[in-house]
């Protein structure tokens, strides 16, 4: 009997519905607040910014399952279902009794899970007659995904790319341009928000919060143009549940069930995607799986942030979101995991974390690259610096299982590949990378300034 490495599903098994965990949470997230009215946000409040269907999904706390339109499923076929892979070689290198599985979202043509939501967002905007989109991107994974999604549904796209990533990851810029998108380094002089930030701090290398402000501002000032966000929000997490829904079926094929589920954590999109469908069974009391969000120690919102209402962007254009946050003015260190350089956690994960239903750990940059190199040399795939956080935690848990002498089943999400992040690996191998431990005084100064 041959051993199976990749558990594959047929295209007909691409989920037909997304899973909306909010509808099944006992303690639902606090409502977002409209800062103009100080009232709980209504879907209509979001219509100027987002496609109406996306706004409705954002506030839907009632429907457990939401149908995926055929047009989106048809596009998902380009890369879905993605493989679930048993990491035999990594297990062997660690000499662990743990069984390690990873869901390989890096096989998407844009290199990450981000396409799961990009296709959905582009589709809903298209059918509502929108012609132009704006967005932000950190490392460029979300921007490349939305660039291809926009091209495939016939929309124009402008992307504000965090300046440090614009410089560190030039190939992702090229990718977006190859798919026809405009790319602007953020902070830029093209928006009021950008000009303000550049004026205050001319050498600032940008953050996701700043880029979001710029993208929102451009969308508000452009006719027939809406904004799209790649993480944090509920509708993004919703779209990403295709990851976990497929993984659930694939774990069944492998005749196992995860004791631990791990995802790296920026705003929550891939962590939510891999976790929520499994977490469902914890909510029902059927299972006791652990869920671990892997954060960078330089941007540890869940492990060290405050739970409070905060803006999703630097300037304060978004609604107030109930979240674990490092403060919307927080300027994260220039780590290579650009997709994790965000100050806040989405409101669903924040509530789940508050209720001890998900855990969080932070990992420093050098440990993440060490894990990534071991993974590349055993399993063959160069992981994205973001995904290296999940791998580091998976390795850690596998080593604990070895110490305890127990067989554990560990599942992590390989959110993307790192082929366009090779300069980071160069620096790591040359010994030129360092850690960026966040000091308490640094963390507190933003909140103190306010009070």
Token look-up 């694939």 returns: 250
- The tokens for 199 are 């004026």
CB 115 → its own copies: shortest distance, Å?
8
Q: State which of residues 27, 40, 92, 178 lies at the interface with its own copies (CB under 8 A).
A: 178
Residue list 242-261, contact with its own copies (CB under 8 A):
none
Interface with its own copies includes 179 (CB under 8 A)?
yes
Nearest to 385, CA basis, from 353, 337, 347, 427: 337
Burial 147-158 (b: 16+ CB within 10 A, else e): bbbbbbbebbbb
Q: Kindly provide the residue ranges of all beta strands, DSSP E only, lying in 153-238, ordered along the sequence.
A: 156-162, 182-186, 225-227
DSSP 135-150: EEESSSHHHHHHHHHH
Q: Cβ closer to its own copies: 48 or 180? A: 180
Q: Is 54 helix (H, G, I), strand (E, B) or coil?
A: helix
Q: Cβ closer to its own copies: 146 or 193? A: 146
Q: State which of residues 27, 77, 127, 434 lies at the interface with its own copies (CB under 8 A).
A: 77
CB 406 → its own copies: shortest distance, Å?
27
Binding span for its own copies by CB under 8 A among 173-181, 190-198, 336-344, 394-402: 173-181
CB 381 → its own copies: shortest distance, Å?
5
Q: Cβ closer to its own copies: 355 or 426? A: 426
Q: Kindly provide the residue ranges of all beta strands, DSSP E only, lying in 297-418, ordered along the sequence.
A: 306-311, 320-325, 359-363, 409-414
First to last CA, the chain: 66
Interface with its own copies includes 171 (CB under 8 A)?
yes
Interface with its own copies includes 2 (CB under 8 A)?
yes
Interface with its own copies includes 174 (CB under 8 A)?
yes
Interface with its own copies includes 109 (CB under 8 A)?
yes
Q: Measured between alpha carbons, how far is 218 from 117 in angstroms, rounded to an integer?
A: 21
Q: Cβ closer to its own copies: 115 or 164? A: 115
Interface with its own copies includes 67 (CB under 8 A)?
no
Strand order in the sheet with 33-34: 39-40, 33-34, 320-325, 306-311
Residue list 143-162, contact with its own copies (CB under 8 A):
148, 151-152
Give residues in contact with its own copies (CB under 8 A). Answer: 2-6, 8, 10-12, 74, 77-79, 89, 107, 109-111, 148, 151-152, 170-171, 174-175, 177-180, 373, 376-382, 419-420, 422-423, 425-426, 429
């Amino acid at each position: 009997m041959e051993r199976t490495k990749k558990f594959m599903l047929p295209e007909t098994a691409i989920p037909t519905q997304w899973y909306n965990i909010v509808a099944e949470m006992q303690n639902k997230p606090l409502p977002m607040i409209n800062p103009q009215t100080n009232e709980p946000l209504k879907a209509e409040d979001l219509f100027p910014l987002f496609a109406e269907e996306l706004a409705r999904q954002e506030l839907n706390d009632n429907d457990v399952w939401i149908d995926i339109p055929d047009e989106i499923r048809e596009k998902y076929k380009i890369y879905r279902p993605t493989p679930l892979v048993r990491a035999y070689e990594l297990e062997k290198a660690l000499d662990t009794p743990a069984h390690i599985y990873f869901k390989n979202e890096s096989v998407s043509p844009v290199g990450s899970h981000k396409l799961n939501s990009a296709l959905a967002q582009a589709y809903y905007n298209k059918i509502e007659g929108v012609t132009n989109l704006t967005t932000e991107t950190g490392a460029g994974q979300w921007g490349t995904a939305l660039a291809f999604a926009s091209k495939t549904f016939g929309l124009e796209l402008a992307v504000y790319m965090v300046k440090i990533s614009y410089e560190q990851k030039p190939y992702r810029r090229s990718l977006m341009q190859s798919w026809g998108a405009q790319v602007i380094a953020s902070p830029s002089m093209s928006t009021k928000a950008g000009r303000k930030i550049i004026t205050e701090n001319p050498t600032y290398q940008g953050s996701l919060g700043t880029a979001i402000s710029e993208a929102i501002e451009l969308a508000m000032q452009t006719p027939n143009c809406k904004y799209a966000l790649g993480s944090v929000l509920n509708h993004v997490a919703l779209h990403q549940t295709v990851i976990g829904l497929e993984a659930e079926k694939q774990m069944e094929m492998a005749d196992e069930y995860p004791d631990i589920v791990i995802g790296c954590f920026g705003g929550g999109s891939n962590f939510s995607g891999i976790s929520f469908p499994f977490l469902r069974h914890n909510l029902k009391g059927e299972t006791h799986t652990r869920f671990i969000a892997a954060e960078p120690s330089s941007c540890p919102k869940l492990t060290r942030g405050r739970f409070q209402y905060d803006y999703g962007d630097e300037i304060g254009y978004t609604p107030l979101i109930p979240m674990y946050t490092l403060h919307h003015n927080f300027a994260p260190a220039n780590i290579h995991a650009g997709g994790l350089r965000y100050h806040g956690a989405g409101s669903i994960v924040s509530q789940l974390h508050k209720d001890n239903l998900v855990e969080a750990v932070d990992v420093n940059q050098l440990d993440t690259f060490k894990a990534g190199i071991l993974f590349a040399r055993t399993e063959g795939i160069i992981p994205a610096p973001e995904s290296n956080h999940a791998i580091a935690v998976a390795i850690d848990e596998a080593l604990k299982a070895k110490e305890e002498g127990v067989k554990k089943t560990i599942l992590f999400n390989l959110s993307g590949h790192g082929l366009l992040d090779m300069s980071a690996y160069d620096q790591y191998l040359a010994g030129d990378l360092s850690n960026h431990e966040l000091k308490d005084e640094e963390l507190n100064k933003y909140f103190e300034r306010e009070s």
